[in-house]
Structure formats: structure tokens, C-alpha cells
Structure 1
Amino acid sequence: MDSRVIDTFCRYMRLERGCSASSIAKYRSELKRLQVFLQNSGLTHIEETSHIDLRSYLYERAGELSRSTYATVLATLKSFFKFMVNEELIARNPTAKLSFPRKSGHDKLPSFLDQNAQQCLYQYLIGLKRNFTNDRNRSIIFMFLYTGMRTSELCSLLRESVATNAQTIVITRKGGKQQALPLSRELVKLLETYWKPWYGRIKSEAYFCTKQGTPMTPRTVWHLVSRALQQAGIEGVSKQGAHVLRHTFATNLVRQRANLIEIQNLLGHTDVRMTQIYTHVTPESLRSTVNLLEGTMWQEDLPYAE
């Protein structure tokens, strides 16, 4: 398996498919790992690779991967070999006989903050003293909670893309697609209160930045959100970081009976099935749902047993 083939595929995914640098790095790492495996198996030409060889590779990888990560690895292989067939570099696709793992009924639902946890987080954020770092960090957290954007989308957000007067922002989705999102009145008020007085003093193209004007990094954002959740005393969240806030945004909309297609659009999902994971239920929501039946079937009082 020639390294130049991997380079060609990664270049295609970057230029033609618009994949991010982090995604390209993951593709390259996985394919380099496959390259070593195939070489150790005595396969030097890519056209010699069979579905049995790939099944062996996946079996070796399966022990260290979660179900979702395993599916991601398989998706990478399928994309790579499909590209090879389309470019007529190989005659057949050895991944055609490989299937994705079935979803289990025990698969974990997305981690999100319940209403009590959200109230704790809000009180913690409002109670922080006023300074650059605190005001920026709480503005970032509120942006996640009110828009559901991804960390990469927040870090790439430009000042010129934020129009609080029009209650609109333009973000860059996966694949480089631009999308306008509405801002709620509450979020606009929070941003103008805590962040606008600071960023006007700093020269930067990035909307959220450091004191030196450099854009925020995903790693920094992950740490600041995780630290806020911990200091707010929130327990029982299996995963930290901004994705918990994205899940919370979607869950809140579902609980408010928002249209699933509209939620899909706000989250930037390409398939509504990805959005359906947020229709998880809690005992409270189940009770509220059955209570909707009260008064719908009987117009007069029923006799109660003595």
C-alpha cells in the first residue's frame, strides 16, 4: 500500500469534500495504521487486499474501540476504498461485504444537563466576578447553550459574522458550508452585557479570543467548559466539554415541543436520524405526556370506588 495513495485520498477529502484539518489527520492516521497492518501481513499491493484482510484488521482494532469509534474506522475504510474504485486504482471494493455494527438498545444516550443542573450552572456563571476571562468564558458557555453550535464552529466564528443588532450570526459548518443562525433576545442581552465591552478593546478578527487577540482553540474551550461544570457542582455528567451543552440545547428544544426538522437545521445535521437521539425520555417527561390525556376522553366525572 503506497503512501502516495493515502496522500491523494486525503487531498481529495480536503479539497473536494471540504473536510476539516482534524478530520484529515484522523483519516491519515487510520490509513497509516492499516498500511502497517497490511505490510506485516505480507500485502504490498493495495489491489491484493480482500474483505477478509480488512475484517482481520477491524477485529484487531475492535478490542480498543467503542462501538461508535469502530463504526467511524469502518466508515473511513469504506470511503477510502470507494475512492480507489472511482479513480480506477482497484477493480473491486473489498469493504462491500463489511457491515456497520448494529446499534444496541443499551447504547448510551447523549449526556445533557437536566433542569436542576442548568440552574446550578446559570447561578454559578452569573455569580462570577467581572473580569476579562470570566466574562469571556461565561459568554462562550451561554453561546453554546443558546445556539447548540459545535466547538469548531465557535472557534472559527468571526466578528464580521456576528450581528447582534439583527440577532443573527453566520457560522462555518462541517465541510466549509456557511449557515445563518438566529440569536435569541436573551443571548443577545447576555453577550452585550458581558462580552461586547471587552472585545471592542482588542484587535482581532475572531469573535472569541484571548487578551492577545488570538482565536480560542478547541482544547482551551473544552477545559473552560469542563471547569465551569465542575465548579458549579454538577455531578453525574458522563462527559465534560462543550458537547454536553450542545446536547442540552437540543434536549431543551425537544422538551419545548420544537419541530424536529427545525432542530436538525439548527444543529447542522445532514440527516434527521442524527437528531432523533435527542428524543430521549425521562420519568418527568413521560408523566407530563400521559397527563395530556386528562379531560380528552370523558366529559363527566367518573364514579370512584368506595
Structure 2
Amino acid sequence: MDLNDRYLKMFIEYLQIEKNSSHHTTENYEKAILHFKSFMKQQAIEGFAAVSYLLVRHYLTWLHEQSYSRRTVAKKISSLRSFYRFLNREKIVEHNPFALASLPKKGQSIPHFIYEEELAELFHVSDLSTPLGQRNQAILELLYGTGIRVSECCQIQLEDLDFYIETVLIKGKGRKERYVPLGSYAIEALSRYIEEGRKELSEKAGQPAKTLFLNYKGGPLTPRGVRTILNRLIEQTTLTVHISPHVLRHTFATHLLNEGADMRAVQELLGHSHLSSTQIYTHVTKDHLKKIYNNTHPRA
């Protein structure tokens, strides 16, 4: 193992042990650093300590020429800045060449969401007389009723549900846990699925899975599987909208704010670390209010 690989290994261990970062986060950091390491090799730069601000500028120009999106470039530079901050702390490098690198401004995209009228049709397509239909309805009600991420949905275990106090324990990003309330529709759909459909699905597996949602073989359902389910559900409707787990998450937040929910409460429900992540939904609600005003006010 050369020195560069050793330093990278030290940084990954720092993320996992000291920062308690998720596997997904550490994997993204590692990919960004390995990508830059490949660029260093092209430029005949051997060690991380030999990287200068001029090389960083050259790297930014190269990323632009390769047509990377602003969001991707920002993530790479942010990862490398953190990496060099760590190297500087460990006295491996004297300075952080990425400290002065300006991140490209991200385009402020407005989250896509679905109107209540469109959702109504979606909630009536599952065949509730079948195990898979019961499972699909439970997934739909849970994703829209809680706003949780698809990865969080697939990690839920039976023991995480508490129908008595009507909550579910969610294990979010950075291994942070939060309790999210369950609505009456989600409780009804989940109860039916657990008592009937899930029992039938679990019998197909040699060893019953602990996770709440199972695939048709009785094994744990994956995020990709959930996306496939939603695509099939939308195909059974007359709707032309795009739907995904994240769209349901956006819809959850937008509908709450449209009805006057406190932004701090929505932040807590979504599991956002920073309020700025939640504030993007105010753009949607402002558009919603403007549309109502234009359609209803005599002098609009």
C-alpha cells in the first residue's frame, strides 16, 4: 500500500469511527478522492502533499471541460476540501489547496410534487386481496404519510413500529434516529399487510426477514424494488406524472406547508439537519399561493 492509499484509508476510518458517517457518505468521499487521485496521475503528481492551488484550478477547469454538472463539481470539491482539512490536522500536508477553491453555485431547482387530486387515483389501484397489493398499498401510504426516504423505508423492521403510540422509528442519514407519527390511513394499510400479506410472503423464504417490507420471494425489499413498484402502480392509472419515492417525499412536505405546518416541525419530520434543506419547499408553497391568488382574487 503506497502512502496515498494509506492516507485515504486513514480518512475513511476517521469518517466511519469519529464522524459516524453512513456507508453511502463514506463511499461518496472515497469516489471523489480516487477520481482526483486519477487526475493527479495524469498530471504526474505523485503525493497529496505536492498538490498546489494552481493544480486545483486546473482540476476545476478539467471538470468543466468534461461537462460535469455544477452539483457534481460542488460535491467533489467539498469532499476534497474535507479530506485535505483532515490531512492538515494530521500534519501530513502544510496547507489545504482546496480551501480557496470556490464552489460553483447550485441551480435552485424547485421540487416536483403531486397534487392531491392526482394522488387520489393512485391510492385506489392496488389489489388489496393479494399479498403484493397489500404491501404496495402499505408502502404508498407510508411514503406519502411520513415523507421518509426510500432507504429509510427499506430499513424499517417490525419492531420499529408502535401502533399503540402511532409512531415508527426511522434510522436516517448519519445513523441519526427519529420518531415519525403514523396517520390513520398508514396504520390501516400497515396492519392489513402485517396480519395478512406479509405472513404469506415470509413463508416463501427459508429464513424469515426482520425487515417490514418483503419482495415476492420473501426477502428484504430494496430501494430499487420500491421504485419499480411505484412505476407499475402509476402505469395502472390514467396519470401522466412522474412518481418516485423522492417525489412522494417532496409531496409530503409541500402539502404540510401548504396547510400551514410550521417549517421547524417539517424539518424534524423529514430528518433534515439544517433548516435550509427544508426552506426549498417555500418556493413551491409561494407558487401555490400565487396561483390561488391569481385564480380567485377579483383584482389579480
Normalising by structure 2, report the TM-score. 0.87
- In structure 2, give the amino acid aligned to 1:119: A
* Helix, strand or coil at the partner of 2:124: helix
Partner residue, 2:205: none
Partner residue, 1:199: 198
* Helix, strand or coil at the partner of 2:185: helix
Kindly tell me the number of residue pairs found equivalent between the two proteins.
288
Partner residue, 2:178: 179
Shift of 1:16: 2.1
Shift of 1:293: 9.1
CA contact 2:151–2:223 (8 Å) conserved in 1: yes
CA contact 1:161–1:169 (8 Å) conserved in 2: yes
**Residues 5-59 of structure 1, C-alpha deviations (whole Å, 9 max, x = no match):** 1122122212222222233222222211111110110110111112221232233
**Residues 150-192 of structure 1, C-alpha deviations (whole Å, 9 max, x = no match):** 1111111111111122201111111112211111122112222
Distance of 2:296 and 2:266 partners within structure 1: 23
Give matches, 1:57-206, under 5 Å.
Answer: 57-62=59-64, 63-104=66-107, 107-125=108-126, 128=127, 130-201=129-200, 202=202, 203-206=208-211
RMSD between aligned alpha carbons?
2.3
**Residues 116-141 of structure 1, C-alpha deviations (whole Å, 9 max, x = no match):** 3212312324xx35212222122112
Distance of 1:293 and 1:234 partners within structure 2: 30
Partner residue, 2:48: 46
Q: Which of 252, 267, 289 is equivalent to 1:285?
A: 289
Partner residue, 1:246: 249
* Helix, strand or coil at the partner of 2:164: helix
Distance of 2:74 and 2:132 partners within structure 1: 39
Distance of 1:241 and 1:283 partners within structure 2: 22
| Paired-residue identity, % | 27
CA gap of 1:180–1:38, structure 2 versus 1, over 3 A, is same
* Helix, strand or coil at the partner of 2:191: helix
Bigger shift: residues 5-14 or 154-163: 5-14
Unaligned runs of 5+ in 2: 203-207
* Helix, strand or coil at the partner of 2:178: strand
CA contact 2:169–2:177 (8 Å) conserved in 1: yes
- In structure 2, give the amino acid aligned to 1:162: L
Shift of 1:269: 0.4
* Helix, strand or coil at the partner of 2:123: helix
**Residues 239-279 of structure 1, C-alpha deviations (whole Å, 9 max, x = no match):** x4211111111111111110000000000001111101111
CA contact 1:81–1:95 (8 Å) conserved in 2: yes
Unaligned runs of 5+ in 1: 295-306
Distance of 1:165 and 1:54 partners within structure 2: 56
Partner residue, 1:271: 274
Partner residue, 1:221: 226
